[in-house]
Amino acid sequence: MNLPPLAAIRVFEAAARHGSFTNAAEELGMTQAAVSYQIKLLEERIGASLFLRRPRQVILTEVGARLSPAISEAFDMIRAAIAATRENADGILTITTIPTFAANWLVPRLGSFQLAHPSLAVRLQATREVIDFARQDADIGIRSGGGNWPGMIAHKIFGADFTPMLSPVLAATIGGVNTPMDFLKLPIVDPSDPWWKIWFAAVGVADPELRGNPRGRFGDQHLEGKAVIAGQGVGILTPAFFETELKSGLLIQPFDIVGNDDHFYWLVYPEARRNVPKVRAFRDWLLEQLVDQ
């Protein structure tokens, strides 16, 4: 069955509720003439008069009075459902994030976001995958890369810098790390990581021969960090992820020199969602965190 235009039904609902075309127009943000026009259109499509007209007044006909309650209820249902959806959608923020970023940077700081936004529940999806926001149900994400993703807005967080770090206990076994060459005396947690070559080149050492099993891998940097803290070897890590450990002495960073391969960490979200309140709230909070550092 062909429904009449929904715009006209909606106008009818408001006019019936108000008993006035002028008041309905005001509520709907249109002119009284538009209300009059839509009612006439609906009456023609339905094949019955919905209002009797008197000067300065309209009265629902029998037909109109019978139709109105069900239409009103239906619109109440739609309004409630949409409002609940918005509230709920506004109530859960799903963040897809690189696991290391989640573990070493975000989660330790999330407390202040949640204090600032008590009504927002945060759901983390820790994955190294670069997700497609059309295909997965996330609102916003943390990625690493060049930052150029079509249809997305990307805010730079910090660079994916790297430099060697180790446990002070491990360093003491060789009388401390005084030159970059001292690293060659120690086991390397992930000697096949291309970041090592880049770093040694930055300190003027070509083709260093690193100790350790080149087949050993932890996959995620934060797991590598755990191994380094445990004294299992030297790791090449991102300083921004280990501020707490460096401050507390759990790790030491023997040299200030850091490597970079033009990779950065980014906050990203689809352009279409740039005005969604919860997305803006998180963006604003995170950018503020970066300023405070």
Taking the complex as a whole, the smallest distance from the CB of residue 31 to a copy of itself amounts, in Å, to 18
CA distance 108 to 153: 25
Piece in contact with DNA (CB under 7 A), picked from 5-13, 72-80, 100-108, 256-264:
5-13
Which of 5, 69, 194, 214: binder of DNA (CB under 7 A)? 5
Under rule CB under 7 A, residue 39 binds DNA:
yes
* Burial environment of residue 256 by CB neighbours within 10 A (0 to 12, 13 to 18, 19 or more): exposed
Which of 33, 80, 121, 201: binder of a copy of itself (CB under 8 A)? 80
**Tokens 């050492």 map to which residue?**
205
Taking the complex as a whole, the smallest distance from the CB of residue 102 to a copy of itself amounts, in Å, to 21
Under rule CB under 8 A, residue 3 binds a copy of itself:
yes
Under rule CB under 7 A, residue 41 binds DNA:
yes
Continuous H helices in the chain = 6-18, 21-28, 32-46, 62-91, 99-101, 107-116, 168-172, 194-202, 221-229, 243-248, 277-292
What number of chain residues touch a copy of itself (CB under 8 A)? 50
Under rule CB under 8 A, residue 83 binds a copy of itself:
yes
Which residue's CB is nearer to a copy of itself, number 2 or number 148? 2
**Tokens 């923020």 map to which residue?**
93
DSSP 154-216: EEEEEE--BEEEB-HHHHHTTT---SGGGGGGSBBS-TT-HHHHHHHHHTT--S---BS-TT-
Under rule CB under 7 A, residue 204 binds DNA:
no
Under rule CB under 7 A, residue 134 binds DNA:
yes
Q: Which two tokens stand for residue 130?
A: 């670069």
Under rule CB under 7 A, residue 60 binds DNA:
no
Under rule CB under 7 A, residue 8 binds DNA:
yes
Piece in contact with DNA (CB under 7 A), picked from 32-40, 99-107, 156-164, 245-253:
32-40
Which of 19, 31, 33, 44: binder of a copy of itself (CB under 8 A)? 44
Under rule CB under 7 A, residue 68 binds DNA:
no
Q: Which two tokens stand for residue 49?
A: 């008069």
Under rule CB under 8 A, residue 20 binds a copy of itself:
no
Under rule CB under 8 A, residue 78 binds a copy of itself:
yes
Under rule CB under 8 A, residue 263 binds a copy of itself:
no
Phi then psi for residue 260, to 5 deg, are -155, 140
Q: Which two tokens stand for residue 260?
A: 């970079």
- Own/partner long-range contacts of 101-108 (Cβ < 8 Å, ≥24 apart): 101/142, 101/241, 101/265, 102/126, 102/142, 103/220, 103/222, 104/221, 104/222, 104/225, 104/241, 104/242, 105/240, 105/241, 106/142, 108/244
Strand partners, 94: 123
Q: Which two tokens stand for residue 89?
A: 């959608």
Contacts with DNA, residue ranges (CB under 7 A): 5-8, 11, 20-23, 25, 28-34, 36-41, 51, 53, 55-58, 134, 151
Contacts with a copy of itself, residue ranges (CB under 8 A): 1, 3-4, 6-7, 9-10, 40, 43-44, 46-49, 52-54, 61-63, 66-67, 70-71, 73-75, 77-86, 88-90, 133-137, 272-273, 276-278
